[in-house]
Amino acid sequence: MIGVLLLLATVGLTVVGQLLFKWRIDEAGEVPAGAGEKLGFALGLAGDPWVIASFVAALVASVTYGAALTRFDLGFAYPFMSLSFVLVLLFSATFFGEPLTTAKVAGVLLIVLGVFVGTRS
């Protein structure tokens, strides 16, 4: 049971990190053209507390995933990471107004089906 919770924590932290990063990137705007301005842009993002939080979420996700791997084979644990595709698709439509197209939904459903089939052996 603890292994499954670690996998779910890994997925959750991965999704949160992606959503935070996207939010802050959108707020920052487009990358400027000049080299000096690009450096300033990158440094500004690097110092943004929410960007830092997204990196921390990724780091903690790596730790929880490592802990989960002590309980499961990689071939069993890794397919669970594809749940992040489902959640990011749904949350990106909800929070960022990104289009939720039939093709995207079908693609994610195929991934979920593949995970289901792949973990049955």
pLDDT per residue of the chain (121 residues) written in tens, 0 to 9:
999 999 999 999 999 999 999 999 999 999 998 888 999 999 999 999 999 999 999 999 999 999 999 999 998 888 888 889 999 999 999 999 999 999 999 999 998 888 778 777 6
Q: Which residues contact 72 (CB under 8 A, 6 or more apart)?
A: 3, 7
Give the pLDDT of residue 15: 98
Q: Rounded to the nearest 5°, which phi and psi values hold at 45? A: -65, -40
Give the pLDDT of residue 121: 64
Give the pLDDT of residue 60: 98
Query: Tokens 């924590």 belong to which residue?
Result: 9
Give the pLDDT of residue 117: 83
Residues of the domain holding 21? 2-118
Query: What is the number of structural domains in the chain?
Result: 1
Give 90's Cβ-side CA count (13 Å radius).
9
pTM of the model: 0.86
Radius of gyration of the chain (CA): 17
